[in-house]
Structure 1
Amino acid sequence: MHLLSYPRDSVSLDGTWQAIPDQYEMYDGYFEDMVGDDDEDNPAGFSPKSIYEVGASEQEGMPVDFNVHDGYSVDIPASFGEAVTEFRHYEGWVWFARTFDWDAETADDQTHLQFGAVNYKAEVWLNGERLGEHEGGFTPFSFDVTDELVDGENLVVVKVDNKRYDDGIPNASTDWFNFGGINRSVELVSVPETYIRNYKLETELSEDSVHVSVQAWVEHAAGDAEVTASLPELDTSLKLTADDDGVFTGEVTLARTDVTLWSPSDPRLYTLEVTADSDTLEEAVGLREVEVVDGDIQLNGEDLWLRGIALHEESAGKGRALDIEDVNERFEWLSELGCNYARLAHYPHTEEMARKADEEGILLWEEVPAYWDINFGDEEIQELYRQQLREVTQRDWNRASVALWSIANETDHKDDTRNEVLPQMADYVRELDETRLVTAACFVDDTDDGIVLKDPLKENLDVVGINQYYGWYYGDADDMQQFQEDPDGTPVVVSETGGGAKWGHHGDEDERWTEEFQAEIYRGQTEAIDGNDQIAGMAPWILFDFRAPMRQNEHQRGYNRKGVVDQHGRKKQAFHVLREFYQEKRP
């Protein structure tokens, strides 16, 4: 279960760390073989200082090539290749380390070391004790370090491996850049002996009532533990009682007239307090319900058309280590476009995106990087798949803005193994959270009868995402008019569409890579989509240009140029075409 740390007081370990590249993977246990008694192989009885001790690189008798106190200074969170530009394209091991002071007398009963995200594999030590490891570059993880912390100076060391793996998620081939490093914040979270590890808020609506339920996962709860939840602004409190699995649950029904439901037009947030003995979590939450009814996506019982756009987690010069100014800039663009929705592709973005979306009234599609050709039949990969789904779901299941969990992107619907495994993953997400919609980004097929959805996964999804590039890679921009319409069928969201253009490159509307060509694709796509009752929204590809090593022609040079904004924030003509369309689509 994910340790919910956001609303707690914590000690940040962000700031200056030392980073040591280890391309040949030499320094894992590097000095152990050199320590020993005086013998013929070690005539001086040479026993160098630990590589973890200050001054080891200056030891007399033999030079030391590696010391965790003497690397490249990097301000964490950071994408290593952006912080140390001579390693911009480096993939491999990097050791990160920093010392910090700890006052044991002022700490609570237990302390956890939490990482927001490390790409891609991480192995962690504290004061020389190995804490454990984590695989997956975009989701949080933590370790109980109560017994490893010492009063005074402590040393944390993280071995980060950002190589691409055929048996990873994602696998070795992606259409985005592999930013390695400790890309999100690191913190020490202290809790009392009995503490709330996580909780889940769920809302269900009827014609005249709002039913609210709260589940809490409480660690070390005694038999007489008092666990409660309250919404002070609604003058509501409820007692949570433990079920057979030790999960504390409570529920209350409110009059609908007393509640302002969260929506893009009015993103009302209420303070929720969850308490277990002396531990209290307090944060802002929205009450709302999202569902599919008669082929339509509904929010709070009203039909909803998703005016969106997709985006990567990236900032020029920073890589994936976004700060709050970067997050705010994205929401300024979304607001200017007239969006009520965004697709966070192709992996979990920083938690700040969902929290900001709660405040701004932007619905979100969140996904894991089950992307292209992962080995769906491998049991270890399936377990890693579930782990990544679980970690992002448990992190963000209390965010009112999160409406869709996506389980895959552009996977082969003719692969029998994939068609067996993906429905299982859809079911797994619903086991974790049944209050949101499950989706995936799929392909369509051209037939003599028109454009159709042949992907069997559609039977297991609440909403089907379609990635299609008519007018760019094939066909004409308005070909989506031929999409077979089933108004009462599963709602469809166009999860990708668009074309590339280099900012400032101008020409005729039929000249590829010009802003005019891209803008014309957007005109054709929006006109074709607008008249189809089964299509419930769109998220063109993409908000801004992003790094992509496979894109190397003269107009791209390592960037995917499909953004309606370039990597420096300069708007292309397509931005204004999409903005005008969304203004017309506003209710």
Structure 2
Amino acid sequence: MKQLIKYAFLLISITTQAYAQDNLITNIASRKSVSLNGSWQYIADPYETGFYDYRYTELKESNPDAYWNTDVPSNKTEKKEHGYTDKYSLQVPGDWNHQKPEFLYYEGTLWYKKSFDVKKINTASRYFIYFGAVNYRADVYLNGKKLGMHIGGFTPFNFEIPAALLKENGNFLVVRVDNKRGADEVPTLNTDWWNYGGITRDVKLVEEPQTFIQDYFLQLKKPLVGKAPAARPEAEGWVKLNNWKHGEAVVISIPELKFKKRVVSANDSTALSFSLPKLQLWSPENPKLYRVVIATATDTVVDKIGFRTIQAAGKQVLLNGKPIFMRGICIHGEIPDEVRRAVGPQDARILLNRARELGCNMVRLAHYPHDEAMTRMTDSLGLLVWSEIPVYWTINFSNEAVLQKAKAQLKEMITRDHNKASVIIWSVGNETPISDTRTRFMHSLITTAKRLDSTRMISAALEVNYAALKSMNVIDDPLGQYVDVVSFNEYLGWYGGLPDQCRKANWSTPYNKPLFISETGADAKGGFHADSLTRFSEEYQEWYYKEQLDMLKRMPDNFVGISPWVLNDFRSPKRNNPLYQEGWNRKGLYDDKGNKKKAFYLLQSYYKEIKARDNRNK
């Protein structure tokens, strides 16, 4: 009984502290807000002196030695052992690792402080602090009072500011950021990418009316399996009001379609259902977006939404009722040319234009949710998206607290992007080793994802047990019975053997579902040339891709696409060959200076052939 009580208390603690508010405001770009980006002062605190006392007990909120409290002495006798100054400042959004040489490999705690004024506080409004992402744990304080804490390095969160706390002059916002890896975190201790720390995405002060449109969901109703959308497609969804009042009216309008519908809400979540005549469907060839206006008596939100259907039907993936082959590439949220975390529209355009030049119609955003600028831009450019939470390798699948952390990140990812037409796959993880415990864990995530959004496909990148003596490699992971697309990572010719192993390799799965190669690739140091047998040469990587692409000609008829690993070289402390890696994963088709490797042109040519074939078959 004591153990059960202890376990229940743990779950309550997780819910009330780590995920203190369940009111994520979506489409933040459409809200009335003030940017808090720019220069923030910081204190490096590897011993966490500003958070714990010398007995390693969390400091009381009023303790003057706590780093969230003012650093200005009230008089000359007051002892202050911390201080913020412009001498020590960092740019937000941005990781700390690339901004200061001493932080190149730093993992630990930094305190950020931003002072700001509010021109005029509207006493009829409510105010929120919004963060696009902070890696990994964020404790947020305003004017010495704690607003809350969030765990998870790649998803957005916000906290409401108590009415009496915000001032017109002299506000100071302090954020304790801790990016230390943990055995019971998501992701866990071991990853194959660099753990960039900091306030890595936008920070905003958001103003809302007392009752406001917190979230909404508007997509086409999924047709019967194998059927194209109707001539007058049915849209459905909901609008969620914060501080809902009985009888509140919600008006949905799409001016270009001359469409307007008024619905009276019966509770805080108002269901929507209506037909949309003369609708142009969103697709990579025609990424049509409509201006959608959602309004109440006190609030208006404007968005650009594309309408399309996506589903797995037997052995095919159907976009708007028609089979599609996904010409993909995996992308890390990193700008290797500048050795930093990617942030904002400019970085998104750099990464996505490289994918488009390769000939892609799809990107796998690995291994975590990327900046929202990426998914907004994939909507406008017409690139399909696989979006993933960092349930990666061997996390603690037996720990209920870890499962709740994964579900929280899954919910935040889906909530932020559930109106993005380009997002077609929610992925619940990558290369998780098979066991009954792991399968129950992953199945729970899949069930959660389908409950949150039934309009998209669910998948995960599965591992492969390669056939030792036989030519047939079978993807029979028990998780395959729950996903919509059977996706797998394979590296024949890089991890074990040489690329010519592909000549005798064949692939199958016992599941009557679409089959997708979610990763394949080989390292090559850009500019290093040798014969094709020399590892880490561009010629070896080129040979690898030649054999892989020849193998794809023998794939079964449920093969629906591929997203090779990876678009760009990226930082990874696991990769320590002193000649060819030097702390970089070199599987990119672009090197860390932005130069194309020889394998780029092979894949580009293959994608051109596939595109021409698909155009002939239309």
More displaced stretch, 450-459 vs 196-205: 196-205
- Map of 1:223-302 to 2, 5 A cutoff? 223-243=246-266, 246-255=268-277, 258-302=278-322
* 8 Å contact kept, 1:438–1:461: yes
- Map of 1:67-78 to 2, 5 A cutoff? 67-69=83-85, 72-78=88-94
- Map of 1:350-361 to 2, 5 A cutoff? 350-361=371-382
**Partner of residue 427, structure 1:** 447
**Which structure 2 residue ranges, 5 or more long, are not aligned?**
1-22, 57-63, 224-228
TM-score (norm 2): 0.88
- Whole-Å Cα distance in 1 between the matches of residues 192 and 150 of structure 2? 24
Q: Assess, with a 3 A threshold, how the Cα gap between structure 1 residues 464 and 437 changes in structure 2: closer, same or farther.
A: same
Which amino acid letter does the alignment assign opposite residue 88 of structure 1?
L
Q: Assess, with a 3 A threshold, how the Cα gap between structure 1 residues 441 and 31 changes in structure 2: closer, same or farther.
A: closer
User: Tell me, what secondary structure is at the counterpart of 2:341?
Assistant: coil
User: Tell me, what secondary structure is at the counterpart of 1:82?
Assistant: coil
Match of 1:11 among 7, 22, 34: 34
Aligned residue pairs: how many? 570
**Partner of residue 499, structure 1:** 522
State whether structure 2 residue 574 is matched by structure 1 residue 550.
yes
State whether structure 2 residue 404 is matched by structure 1 residue 383.
yes
Which amino acid letter does the alignment assign opposite residue 215 of structure 1?
W
Match of 1:136 among 147, 152, 176: 152
**Partner of residue 197, structure 1:** 214
**Which structure 1 residue ranges, 5 or more long, are not aligned?**
34-46
**Partner of residue 198, structure 2:** 181
More displaced stretch, 482-491 vs 436-445: 482-491
* 8 Å contact kept, 2:50–2:66: no
- Whole-Å Cα distance in 2 between the matches of residues 71 and 377 of structure 1? 46
Superimposed CA distance per residue, residues 365-403 of structure 1 (whole angstroms, 9 cap, x where no aligned partner)? 000000001111111111111100000000000000000
**Partner of residue 325, structure 1:** 346
**Partner of residue 82, structure 1:** 98
Q: Assess, with a 3 A threshold, how the Cα gap between structure 1 residues 242 and 475 changes in structure 2: closer, same or farther.
A: farther
The CA RMSD over aligned residues, in Å, is 2.3
Match of 1:471 among 479, 485, 493: 493
* 8 Å contact kept, 1:438–1:463: yes
Q: Assess, with a 3 A threshold, how the Cα gap between structure 1 residues 187 and 32 changes in structure 2: closer, same or farther.
A: farther
- Whole-Å Cα distance in 2 between the matches of residues 369 and 473 of structure 1? 23
* 8 Å contact kept, 1:214–1:229: no
C-alpha displacement at 1:228, in angstroms? 1.5
Identity %: 36
Q: Assess, with a 3 A threshold, how the Cα gap between structure 1 residues 408 and 487 changes in structure 2: closer, same or farther.
A: closer
- Whole-Å Cα distance in 2 between the matches of residues 191 and 481 of structure 1? 62
**Partner of residue 609, structure 2:** 584
Q: Assess, with a 3 A threshold, how the Cα gap between structure 1 residues 239 and 48 changes in structure 2: closer, same or farther.
A: closer
User: Tell me, what secondary structure is at the counterpart of 1:332?
Assistant: helix
Stretches (4+) displaced over 6 A: 29-33, 47-51
User: Tell me, what secondary structure is at the counterpart of 1:439?
Assistant: strand
Which amino acid letter does the alignment assign opposite residue 129 of structure 1?
K
C-alpha displacement at 1:576, in angstroms? 0.8
User: Tell me, what secondary structure is at the counterpart of 2:437?
Assistant: helix
Superimposed CA distance per residue, residues 177-226 of structure 1 (whole angstroms, 9 cap, x where no aligned partner)? 01000000100111111100000012125342311113111012221211
**Partner of residue 332, structure 2:** 312
**Partner of residue 355, structure 2:** 334
TM-score (norm 1): 0.93
- Whole-Å Cα distance in 2 between the matches of residues 219 and 328 of structure 1? 34
C-alpha displacement at 1:48, in angstroms? 8.9
Q: Assess, with a 3 A threshold, how the Cα gap between structure 1 residues 481 and 535 changes in structure 2: closer, same or farther.
A: farther
User: Tell me, what secondary structure is at the counterpart of 2:532?
Assistant: coil
**Partner of residue 44, structure 1:** none
* 8 Å contact kept, 1:138–1:349: yes
State whether structure 2 residue 565 is matched by structure 1 residue 541.
yes
Which amino acid letter does the alignment assign opposite residue 152 of structure 2?
G
User: Tell me, what secondary structure is at the counterpart of 1:80?
Assistant: coil
C-alpha displacement at 1:240, in angstroms? 2.9
Which amino acid letter does the alignment assign opposite residue 304 of structure 2?
A
**Partner of residue 242, structure 2:** 219
- Whole-Å Cα distance in 2 between the matches of residues 472 and 426 of structure 1? 31
- Whole-Å Cα distance in 2 between the matches of residues 59 and 513 of structure 1? 63
- Whole-Å Cα distance in 2 between the matches of residues 176 and 49 of structure 1? 33
- Whole-Å Cα distance in 2 between the matches of residues 285 and 297 of structure 1? 22
Q: Assess, with a 3 A threshold, how the Cα gap between structure 1 residues 569 and 332 changes in structure 2: closer, same or farther.
A: same
Superimposed CA distance per residue, residues 309-334 of structure 1 (whole angstroms, 9 cap, x where no aligned partner)? 00101123352252322211112111
- Whole-Å Cα distance in 2 between the matches of residues 431 and 50 of structure 1? 41
More displaced stretch, 167-176 vs 482-491: 482-491
Which amino acid letter does the alignment assign opposite residue 143 of structure 1?
F
* 8 Å contact kept, 1:368–1:389: yes
State whether structure 2 residue 137 is matched by structure 1 residue 113.
no
C-alpha displacement at 1:570, in angstroms? 0.7
State whether structure 2 residue 112 is matched by structure 1 residue 92.
no
C-alpha displacement at 1:69, in angstroms? 4.1
User: Tell me, what secondary structure is at the counterpart of 2:454?
Assistant: coil
C-alpha displacement at 1:294, in angstroms? 2.2
* 8 Å contact kept, 2:37–2:203: yes
C-alpha displacement at 1:464, in angstroms? 1.6
**Partner of residue 453, structure 1:** 475
Which amino acid letter does the alignment assign opposite residue 51 of structure 2?
D
